[in-house]
Chain A
Amino acid sequence: MTLKTWREILAGGLITDAGNTEEYETGSWRSHRSIIDMDKCTHCMICWVYCPDGSIMVSDGKVIGIDLAHCKGCGICVHECPRKAISRVEEALAKEGVQ
């Protein structure tokens, strides 16, 4: 996202675009990553309800993963999942695993 100058932005930090949180990526804040075990997940949507950042990705009524560009790694989904289907690993280790 290109940052604007002080002459180009609305005074007082007001936000007039609804739903612009999506443009602000907060995934880099994360110290721990939640990983869903799809074999255990029953798609009950409890994690989707609890996630404070809307980062549980859903398609056709099924949980399909976590939006890592926005997930801050708070771990609420891990705590709330009734099936213990979500685990939590250190972001650094998760990154190594990914690469």
Chain B
Amino acid sequence: MVSPKVRGKPVALDGDRAVAEAIRQMSPDVVAAYPITPQTEIVMRFSEFVANGEVDTEFIPVESEHAAMSACIGASAAGGRAQTATAGAGLAFMWEVLWVASGTRLPIVMHVVNRSLSAPLNIHCDHSDSMGARDAGWIQLYDETVQEAYDNAIQALRIAEHPDVMLPTLHAMDGFILGHGLERLELLPDDAVREFVGVYKPEHSLLDVDHPVTYGPMELTDYFFEHKRQQAAAMERALEIIPQIGEEYGMLTGRYYGLMEGYRLEDAEFATVALGSTAGTIKTVVDELRDQGVKAGLLKLRCFRPFPATTVAEALGDKKAIAVLDRSLSFGAQCGPLFLEVITALFTHGFSPKVLNYAYGLGGRDIVPAQIHQVYKDLIDIDREGLAGPSLRYLGLRE
């Protein structure tokens, strides 16, 4: 590992403000956004940057999230860099146009601050919103810390615009826990971000009048399927590109990013898999268990879409027992969406360890170290005695 090229400036910011800084530094051509808790601070802070002339972005205060994404689609098709931010119901309201963005292969960047979906009305964190968008053709990264929210925001742009990818990209941070949680992080100098994101030169654009192009035509039974296959191929290529950009970002900052992060995972016998800020809580518990002689480890997944099946299977295949923590419920399904992916990856790579799935943290319910300890205890139990009871369990729920 080489020493980083630039020195970051240590600051204390919450996730929303850190992302607002990242957007300012990336200086997109267009930001179209509608405020919604707990994302509001991103839009509020960024609109201040615009009003103060600190950034020359065209800021469009739209009437809804459907309009926000639609405006981003228009701006991106016109050849500009377009970004938005949303949460919960706002992301759900974008659902239709999320597919237009990905199907038209527009490298829009979206900052998601995870919030549960009504009803009952709840503003707190779970992953129902971004998991609801998991099939919409967007690359999905998850942030563990405010620093990662900032870093992923910047890398998302490079991933989205990579010529081998050209897919809209979102990164998701846990609402309130990261969005409103004050943490120490390092901000890059403005010019370092400017240089890292470079200048966007789209191959096609609506404003290139010398090379006219039609965006968004109708396609029926003859070509629609072929274009969907292209999107699947772009996702496969993104599995190569995301770690390359993570490496380049690491050379710049000293913070390297891959598709996943293993924490004391290599020699672990008992492993958990999680997304987002919960990974931080799990790391603490892993350290405590290691002190007690338990070979505990964590697989923190950074990249959920595309799902790095081979990487995950190889990291987990030799474990005695694995618990996958899902911060969303797929009602009527056998398991949560993360478990589904992990188990499919293991099975298709020839591994069949003992597995448990936990639904946790819905509507912002706290996840605390004692609960994680219980998860590892359950893993040790099923390793010794075999699986008894349902494989989907509820963590932190009053029974």
Q: Which residues of B contact A (CB under 8 A)?
A: 103-106, 166, 204, 211-217, 219, 222-223, 225-227, 229-230, 233-234
Contacts and interface: CB of A to CB of B under 8 A. Distances in A.
B204 A13 contact: no
Contacts of B229: 6
Give the dominant DSSP class at A's interface. loop
Interface residues of A, number: 12
B100 to A, nearest CB: 10
Given A6-B226, A6-B230, A13 B212 contact: no
Nearest to A8: B226
A75 B75 CA distance: 37
A3 interface: yes
Interface in A1-52: 3-6, 9, 11-16, 18
A15 B211 CA distance: 11
Contact of B211 (A3, A9, A12, A16): A16
Nearest to A10: B204
Contact of B227 (A6, A16, A18): A6
**Considering the complex of A and B, which 3 residue pairs feature the smallest CB-CB distances, nearest first?**
A12-B105, A6-B226, A15-B214
Given A6-B229, A6-B230, A14 B223 contact: no
Given A16-B211, A18-B212, A11 B223 contact: no
Contacts of B234: 11
Nearest to B226: A6
A60 B276 CA distance: 70
B63 to A, nearest CB: 27
Contacts of B223: 3, 9, 13
Given A3-B222, A3-B223, A9-B223, A14 B230 contact: no
A16 B219 CA distance: 15
A12 B229 CA distance: 11
24 contacts: A3-B222, A5-B226, A6-B225, A6-B226, A6-B227, A6-B230, A9-B223, A9-B230, A11-B105, A11-B166, A11-B227, A11-B230, A12-B103, A12-B106, A13-B216, A13-B219, A13-B227, A14-B204, A14-B213, A15-B214, A16-B211, A16-B213, A16-B214, A18-B212
